[in-house]
Amino acid sequence: MAANPYPPKCERWRVRTGLTRIATSDPFIPSLVNTGRELVLFDTGNGALQREPEARRGRLPEGLLVEQLRQAVYEPQDVDVVVVTHGHPDHIGGLMKGGEPAFPNARYVFGATEFDFWKRSNVRDARKFNRELFMKIAVPFADRASFIKAGDEVVPGIQAVDAAGHSPE
């Protein structure tokens, strides 16, 4: 959910190699599932990370999730459950908007191992900013969250699987 998914360096490489944009697209898209009882959002995209905080300003594509939800005739307050698949900025960046929960009526689901990993302080230097962002954006939702492990039910009909590898870290 990004306005410009092709940073200049990637675009130069794409042109040089003769690949089409469709061949080089990164298809990460937050997913919305309507179970018939609940509206479940998997990840929140970049949100306002392009503009805030200062350290990320201009480095990430603009998050367009809320606008795209509206195109699908949903409002942020319609979302019942937000599932955070992992704690990287492009998955947690849309949890907050202007310092307030972007999905005000939702409960939150995190993998327990993932949440604990980012909450503890011993991450490698290259991920320290990621951890600071996680502490600022994701940890405030702990009191509204469930912490699950592989095999647990996210909502009726949706079960968590262990897909570790890309994260933690």
Percent of the chain whose predicted confidence (pLDDT) is above 90? 42
Give the CATH number of domain 27-157.
3.60.15.10
- 83: pLDDT confidence band, cut at 50, 70 and 90? very high
- The ranges assigned to domains in the chain are 27-157
For residue range 25-74, list pLDDT tens digits in order.
455 678 899 999 999 999 988 776 766 656 555 556 667 788 888 988 99
pLDDT in tens, 89-112: 888 888 998 889 999 999 999 999
Global model pTM greater than 0.85: no
Residue 89 pLDDT? 83
pLDDT of residue 168: 66
pLDDT at 152: 97
More reliable by pLDDT, 164 or 144: 144
pLDDT value at residue 56: 56
What integer pLDDT is reported at residue 3 of this predicted model? Answer: 43
Report how far apart, in Å, the C-alpha atoms of 65 and of each of 8, 19, 30, 153, 157 are: 23, 27, 8, 25, 24
Q: Can you tell me the mean pLDDT for 123-146?
A: 90
- pLDDT in the model for residue 75: 95
4, 22, 118 from 26: Cα distances, Å: 11, 9, 25
Give ∠ CA 91-1-109 in degrees, rounded to 5: 30
Average per-residue pLDDT for the chain? 82
pLDDT at 15 over 90: no
